[in-house]
Structure 1
Amino acid sequence: MKKRSRLRLAVVLAVGAVFACLGIWAEYTNWQRLLQSANTRQMETARAMALHTDDILALAQQPLNNLSAHARDALGDKAKMQHLLEEMLRVVKTSPLLRSLAYADAQGRLIGSTFAANSAGMDLSDREYFLFHKSNASTQPRFGLPSQSQTNGRWFLPISQRIDNPDGSLAGIMIATIDMDHFSRFIETFEVNEQNAFALLRKDGAILLRLPIDLKAMGANVADSTLYRDQIMKKLRGNYEYVSRFDGTKRISGFYRSTDTGVTAIATQTKASIFDDWLKQSKYPWLSIILAYLIGTAMAIRWIRQIELREIGDQKVAAREAEFRLIANASPDVIEKISLAGVRQYVSPAAARIFERDTESVIGTSVLDDRDDQTKSAWQDALAKVQSGSSTECILYRHQRMDGTMIWLESVISCFRSDDNNEPDGIVVITRDVTRQQMMKQELNALATTDELTRLFNKRYFNTQLSSTLAAARANQQSVSLILLDLDRFKAYNDTYGHLAGDCALRDVAAVIPPELIGTGGLAARYGGEELVVLLPNTDAEETMRIAENIRKAIAALKIEHAGNLPWGHVTVSSGYATALPSQAFSENDLITQADRALYAAKAAGRNRSQDDEENNKPEHLRSSM
């Protein structure tokens, strides 16, 4: 009898150990999921930061290119050089991005600056950006190292561009500076604090920005770090765990390296803060598990001492069932036990919150009931996999609530097996609401593809879609058309009514374009400044002309007052369009160049019109063909 009692006690303790292991496994899984979610969030944040940095450089590149071209023309001509300095002042006054502009000659002497009128002659030959351009023949704009203003203490970032003589030698350098606020205001939307830190790295490993601001980090070079050497230099994006050399804390990070500028954005979070969040979530479930284990063990010992083997066995089953229900009832997630065919045998009370049905009405129904075809297929595949040997399967799907709103649910499916022959004996499903995480992911994606002012797609997204559309057109032997639109005399509009009114006008004009594209499969994007672009897959030249004219008329119908746009007196638009036919090879640049040439022809012909380029001006492979 004592031997049997010891055996039964050992069984009870073993069952308790199994529940403890299940609890540990569940919390470990929760910890891993929390880490994975944090890593995903950090990488998506880094991606948004990198794309924002690309956009800022793109906005700064246009005035730098224009002024550099003026500087080349002004070499050796004092009158033209004076005109260049006046143009620099005008650009700074009208640009919401630029802090200052400066021009230095080939010896590093400052010719002129918009920041200080008496700075001419200052020696910049020892500046990092001058030394770089002196030894590097590239004429592409480049980020310099961050600096702090001696007057107001604000941080700024120089962007410089080399200017060459006709023989290719160094003629001078055009330098633009940008307030770090243009970066920090965007980054601060992601909650900057002691636990979270963000950084921008130049392609050579120099730190352009670190938030929260750390004087030791600003301008420091981390090219020798493991993060930069083994991760950033080998991958465009990823996650990495490291100990910060600046504050000594252990951090997880997500990084994203731009292929356009080479700038790498890094978003980090201390691992300790994630661990604290995990402890807050796990504290009460763990106390419930321990309490249930102690109560169950004490009850089992009393049963062993007081009743016969049969009674003890019955009470053990009841105790195990009570422990399972205690854990399930305390869980905020829906815990279900289902048969191998998918029929629910047990459902925890959380079903009333997530499924909006009481547990009694759910028991006996199939997990495949009331599912759309895609979700049903995902459930069937997951059930088949766990029955064939997979330990755990996870599926993500949408669920419609009674009020018609859609939420995202995540179900983790596990199969438990017989101790005798390891055959599937039943399935446990844990379901939780992950709508908030999905919405955050969608918001980050929208930030990366949408122009903030016009709410049209941004230039980066347009370029990606143009490449994929042209590739599909080649494969399917279809036409592709492109329309470039530019608001007539819009600089005069801004000068007359102000940039804020100009932004409103541009937003109103952009709003009329998408309705004209319904049913065409086309998309509209902001191409730069007041220039918009429309991409039309599988659209011939005649239909393209009709769409371009409809857009032009719809914009004119807005009757936005523009006294400087005579003879009409309201905002109008000129557009140039081009169509690539499928019979020969073509490229993105050919199509854009063709439409741009047509746009200039429309401007030259009097504005407020839509126009294609003349046939004899087209490239050979676009002449009556693609």
Structure 2
Amino acid sequence: MITSRREIGKAHIPLWAAGFVALACVAILALSGWREWESRQVDLKNAEVDMANLARSLTQHADDTFDLADTILTGMVDRMETGGTSPAAVEKIRTFLQSRKYNRQRIRGIFVYDETGRWLATTEDVNLTGLNNGDRDYFQRHRASTERGTLIGRPVKSRSGGQWIITLSRRFNHPDGSFAGVVLTSIDVAYFTEFYRRFDIGPNGSVSLLNADGIMLARSRDEDGSNVGRDMSKSSLFRTLKDRPSASVYYFKSPLDGLERLSFYQLSSRYPILVLATKAQEDVLEPWRQQSFTRLAVVAGLLLVIALTGFAFVRYLLQRQRMAAALVAKEADFRLLAEQCSDVVMRVGLDERILYVSPSCARVFGHDPAKLLGAPALAAINAEDRPRVEQAIAALKNGEAEEARLIYRVRHREKNEIWVETALRVTRAAETNKIDGVVAISRDMTEQQDLQNKLAALATSDGLTGLANRRHFDERLLEEWARAKRDGTPLSLLLIDVDHFKKFNDHYGHQAGDACLRALARILDAQIRRPADLAARYGGEEFVLLLPNTDSEGCMQVGERVREALLELGMLHALNPPSKLITVSLGGATNVPAQSMTEHAALIAAADRALYSAKNAGRDRLVMSGQVVAWPDAKSA
């Protein structure tokens, strides 16, 4: 009887095992499905965060662009209302606009129209005769309304250039308050389109800039401009926008291409515009689909093994236990990394002493958080940066501002100094609602700051020779001209051109030509003996030496040293008789700018003429433009 019962029990073991295996398979399938769903949601959530960050950044970019245009409009309205629209005043405005070189990437042009819409002045190189913008919507709105604010109009095609533009305009008045005309700035739609294309948001991702009425201003996926000016006010987003927050995640099916999109929209707090950053859901989920297929295939294989034998089931359980242990270890590692990457949160009282600091302080600043409690919050800040931080905290404590953001240097316990970015915000007592302190959230920005410094250095140097580039030279020339005019000191300039360089390139090859230019650059760099001196590549085989506080005699000495050093180098040039060596021609000019002189181009022109004289006289020589004296009554051209 006992034996029979034991056999029955043994007979039931396969059923129990089969039931257990089936239950385990169902449980594993359910867990795998749940995990895949969670992974899908995580991918979507990460994409939402990416789109939110992108939309906020691009909204700030749009605000900055419109701020620049608004600032220009404000200044021009003040000029027009102060000077009036008389022929003499209009001529001054035209001269003023033509003499200004604005950033054509952001601000395309500036226009002034009289009360009838007739063009008075512009930065564009067009004939103003017969041009009239009285039919434009923005002009009619300014004429009909006394509102003095900036109007962001619908995109229109420019009458001066033919391209799509976004207009910002302001009304200006006669002294009696009546309508006198309109000042307008234009921004190329292509500027926003090209800027948005720089961001990698997938093959079907897009960024759109719209006004608050739903009119499309710019879109990254719009090569032919067909979507500019399109009315999107009937879309579900704009129909319900009044009931939505100013910024939020938004899922929708695009009326432009029919794709299901994940997006984040951000309304500007300063201008009636909205930025919509989107990714196609299929682009977001494609990596998940591929990984999910692989994971499910693995799970199916494991389930097949489990179904074959109980031994495989036990091994699988052991393997799952090992995998679970590995997963716990990985989760612990991930948690540690997450804590390492967290920002430092600090609470500061009105006495500017630390009330609380998060554990990540030990990683970012190298200090034990417990030892910092009660310490002065500003003690470790660099002395040069500390006044700015003190000013910001004082403004927060006095109620002049609710929040602030600063970048400054802080002493590290183990390193010399690090750069940190800190967001400051006031805290208020729950009972009285009075300010009782400041919360500071800080992150390490040292690598980003170093990268910015490297990029700034690259932007001012020539890639081949390592000398300053033309742009940096132009900026320094303006500075040194202003300093020389202010101090009454001489300013000298040397233009250097390699003789018969094209023949050298054709005969010896471009690599030899590059080596020649680098050798000359080293010679020029060796002549830079004062911090204010500057050697730059002016263009092609032309170089320039800027010598502040140097008279004509000193300029000649530097030029002769350059010429002789190159001859001593003895670089062969068979097509440059009679020496058959690499030589240079130099043109020098010296000037003492008078207070009434504003044009520095005369110095370059004088050196250029001297350079041509040196070439015409046989090359391999230095020619000075002559003694140049200050011109007290001279006016700029």
| C-alpha contact 1:251 1:268 (8 A) present in aligned 2 | yes
CA distance in 1, matches of 2:245, 2:151: 22
CA apart distance, 1:216: 4.0
Distance 2:250 2:304 in 1: 41
Secondary structure of the residue that 2:182 maps to in structure 1? strand
Matched, 1:563 2:481: yes
- Pick one of 292, 295, 300 that aligns with 1:282: 292
1:559 Cα deviation after fit:
14
Aligned partner of 2:498 in structure 1 is: none
| Partner AA of 1:248 in structure 2 | G
Q: 1:43 and 2:52 equivalent? A: yes
> Would you say 1:10 and 2:23 are equivalent positions?
no
1:252 is the counterpart of 2:278: no
- Structure 1 portions without partners, runs of 5+: 304-314, 337-346, 356-366, 376-395, 407-455, 457-461, 477-510, 525-536, 539-557, 573-626
**Residue identity matched to 1:257:** L
2:234 match: secondary structure: coil
| 8 Å CA contact retained: 1:232, 1:257 | no
Q: CA deviation at 1:219?
A: 1.0
Deviation of the 1:475 alpha carbon = 11
Aligned to 1:172: 181
What secondary structure sits across from 2:89 in the alignment?
helix
Larger CA Rg, structure 1 vs 2? 2
Task: State how far apart, in whole Å, the 1-side matches of 2:319 and 2:61 are.
Answer: 55
Residues 515/36 of structure 1: CA separation in 2 closer, same or farther (3 Å cut): closer
- Specify the alignment match of 1:106 in structure 2: 115
Q: Does 1:210 align with 2:135?
A: no
2:317 maps to which residue? 320
3-state SS of paired residue (1:252): strand
Shift of 1:39: 0.6
Aligned to 1:137: 146
**Counterpart amino acid of residue 567 in structure 1:** D
1:53 equivalent to 2:45? Answer: no
Tell whether 2:330 aligns with 1:335. Answer: no
Indicate conservation of the 8 Å contact 1:50/1:257, yes or no.
yes
Number of the residue aligned with 1:266: 276
1:546-561 matches, cutoff 5 A: none
CA distance in structure 1 between the aligned counterparts of 2:94 and 2:137, rounded to whole angstroms: 23
**One of 189, 192, 203 as aligned partner of 1:183:** 192
Residues 307 and 313, structure 2, Cα contact 8 Å, conserved in 1: no
Once residues 129 and 475 of structure 1 are traced to their aligned partners in structure 2, the CA distance between those partners, rounded to angstroms, is 36
Matches of 1:53 and 1:119, distance apart in 2: 30
Secondary structure, aligned partner of 1:335: helix
Q: Comparing 48-57 with 4-13, which one deviates more in the overlay?
A: 4-13
What's 1:33 paired with? 42
* Identical pairs, percent: 20
Counterpart Cα distance in 2 of 1:147 and 1:118 = 20
Q: Alignment partner for residue 228 of structure 1, among 238, 248, 259?
A: 238
Determine if contact 1:163/1:174 at 8 Å carries over to the other structure.
yes
Tell me the residue number matched to 2:134: 125
CA distance in 2 between counterparts of 1:522 and 1:35 reads 31
Q: CA 1:129–1:277 in 2, change beyond 3 Å: closer, same or farther?
A: farther
Q: Give the deviation of 1:467 after TM superposition.
A: 7.6
Among 383, 386, 395, the alignment partner of 1:470 is: 395
The 2-side partners of 1:200 and 1:465 are apart by 38
Q: Is the 8 A contact 1:63 1:91 kept in 2?
A: no
Query: Which one-letter code corresponds to 1:117 in the other structure?
Result: V
Q: 1:70-89: per-residue Cα shift (whole Å, max 9, x none)?
A: 11233352211211122222
Aligned equivalents of 1:151 and 1:113: distance in 2? Answer: 10
CA 1:276/1:122 → structure 2, altered by over 3 Å: closer, same or farther? same
Partner-residue secondary structure (3-state), 2:197 = helix
Compared CA separation, residues 173 and 165, structure 1 to 2 (3 A): same
Alpha-carbon distance in structure 1 between the residues aligned to 2:263 and 2:36: 22
Identify the residue that residue 75 of structure 1 maps to in structure 2.
84
Distance 2:290 2:359 in 1: 28
Larger RCO of the pair (alpha carbons < 8 Å, separation 6+): 1
What corresponds to 1:21 in structure 2? 30
Task: For residue 189 of structure 1, give the secondary structure of its aligned residue in structure 2.
Answer: coil
Task: Structure 2 unaligned segments of length 5 or more: list them.
Answer: 1-7, 344-357, 367-384, 402-406, 423-436, 439-475, 492-530, 533-637
Q: Are the equivalent residues in 1 in contact too, given 2:217–2:228 (CA < 8 A)?
A: yes
Contact 2:206 2:278 in 1 (8 A): yes
C-alpha change, 1:290 and 1:63, in structure 2 (3 Å) is same
- State the Cα deviation string for residues 266-313 of structure 1 (Å, max 9, x = none): 11000111121211222221111111011101224xx7xxxxxxxxxx
- Note closer, same or farther for the CA distance 1:469–1:237 as it changes in structure 2 (3 Å cut): farther
Which residue of structure 1 aligns with residue 444 of structure 2? none
Report the Cα distance in structure 1 between the residues aligned to 2:390 and 2:54, rounded to whole angstroms: 23
What residue is the counterpart of 1:595 in the other structure? none
Distance in 1, matches of 2:28 and 2:360, equals 31
Residues 128, 28 of structure 1: CA spacing in aligned structure 2 closer, same or farther, 3 A cutoff? same
Contact preservation (8 Å) 1:194, 1:212: no
1:230-285, CA deviations, whole angstroms, 9 ceiling, x for partnerless residues?
A: 24763221110001111111101011111111221111000111121211222221
- In the alignment, is the contact (CA less than 8 A) between 2:262 and 2:278 conserved in 1? yes
Change (3 A) 1:257 1:473: same
CA contact (8 A) 1:216 1:246 kept: no
Amino acid at match of 2:396: A
SS in 2 for 1:124: coil
- In 1, distance between residues paired with 2:400 and 2:154? 46
Q: Is the 8 A contact 1:50 1:258 kept in 2?
A: yes
**CA 1:237/1:568 → structure 2, altered by over 3 Å: closer, same or farther?**
farther
C-alpha distance in 2, partners of 1:79/1:322?
A: 91
C-alpha contact (below 8 Å) 2:189/2:217 kept by paired residues:
no
Deviations 1:204-245 (A, max 9, x none): 221111111164421112223221232476322111000111
TM-score (normalizing by structure 1): 0.52
Structure 1 residues 282 and 119: CA distance shift in structure 2, 3 A = same
Distance 1:30 1:96 in 2: 42
Structure 2: distance between partners of 1:178 and 1:220: 18
CA RMSD, 1 decimal? 4.7
Following superposition, the deviation at residue 128 of structure 1 comes to 2.6
Alignment-derived partner of residue 291 in structure 1: 301
Within 2, Cα distance between the matches of 1:126 and 1:26?
A: 62
Q: TM-score, normalised by structure 2?
A: 0.51
Contact kept, 8 Å, 1:192 with 1:211, in 2: the verdict is no
Instruction: Tell me what 1:241 maps to.
Output: 251
> In 2, Cα distance between the equivalents of 1:151 and 1:172?
19
2-side partners of 1:471 and 1:133: how far apart?
Answer: 39
SS of 1:63's equivalent? Answer: helix
The 3 A distance-change label for structure 1 pair 112 and 257 is same
Aligned CA distance change for structure 1 residues 229 and 127 (closer, same or farther; 3 Å): same
2:95 alignment counterpart: 86
Q: Compared with structure 1, are the counterparts of its residues 232 and 44 closer, same or farther at alpha carbon in structure 2 (3 Å cutoff)? A: farther
